[in-house]
């Protein structure tokens, strides 16, 4: 009996080609065992098995029935499992390259940062909109003055003058706050 007849038994006639549903119903357990033997963890096996059957759906018309369908499924499973392992290894390498998170700040550090942010916000609130944008882009975001001028469509000399004024006011603001804290 041809392989397709062995494949499907009484479900289909030997001359009818198998459907993906037939192949899945008959061989999903086999494919599941294969991908696990090829190094796919049980938690990932379902996804890999479905990927195998996506390939089967695309390539089923190529299956001519001369060999056992299990051999064909094994070859597909081996390729999909290898792709899974390579992808998993790439992801693991990317994760290894990520720096570990910084240790959490202490409550004192959090309070100091909130206080500093509040002071900066109160300083920025004193500036007119244009000067504030220039100061934020240059001294907070790190843009150069020519970049700020292009971003805001302003004359470079205007940016330089406004930034100089903002910095002078900021230094006075900080000095004033520091003098009020001294015992």
pLDDT over threshold 90, residue 4:
no
116 vs 6 pLDDT, higher one: 116
Look at the pTM and tell me if it is higher than 0.85.
no
Question: What is the pLDDT, as a whole number, of residue 14?
Answer: 58
pLDDT tens column, 101-148: 888 889 999 898 998 898 899 999 999 999 999 999 999 999 999 999
| SS3 readout for the chain | CCHHHHHHHHHCCCCCCCCHHHHHHHHHHHHHHHHHHCCCCHHHHHHHHHHHHHHHHHHHHHCCCCCCHHHHHHHHHHHHHHHHHHHHHHHHHHHHHCCCCCCCCCHHHHHHHHHHHHHHHHHHHCCCHHHHHHHHHHHHCCCCHHHHHHHHCCCHHHHHHHHHHHHHHHHHHHHHHHHHHCC
């Amino acid at each position: 009996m041809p392989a397709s007849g062995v494949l499907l038994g009484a479900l289909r006639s030997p001359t009818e080609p198998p459907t993906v549903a037939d192949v899945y119903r008959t061989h999903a357990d086999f494919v599941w065992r294969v991908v696990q033997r090829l190094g796919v963890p049980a938690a990932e096996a379902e996804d890999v098995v479905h990927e195998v059957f996506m390939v089967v759906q695309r390539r089923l018309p190529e299956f001519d029935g001369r060999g056992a369908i299990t051999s064909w499924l094994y070859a597909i499973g081996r390729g999909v499992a290898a792709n899974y392992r390579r992808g998993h290894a790439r992801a693991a390498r990317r994760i290894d390259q990520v720096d570990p998170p910084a240790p959490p700040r202490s409550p004192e550090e959090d309070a100091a940062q909130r206080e500093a942010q509040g002071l900066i916000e109160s300083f920025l609130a004193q500036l007119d909109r244009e000067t504030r944008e220039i100061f934020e882009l240059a001294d907070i975001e790190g843009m150069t003055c020519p970049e700020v001028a292009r971003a805001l469509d302003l004359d470079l000399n205007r940016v330089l003058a406004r930034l100089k004024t903002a910095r002078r006011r900021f230094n006075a603001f900080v000095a004033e706050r520091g003098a009020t804290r001294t015992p």
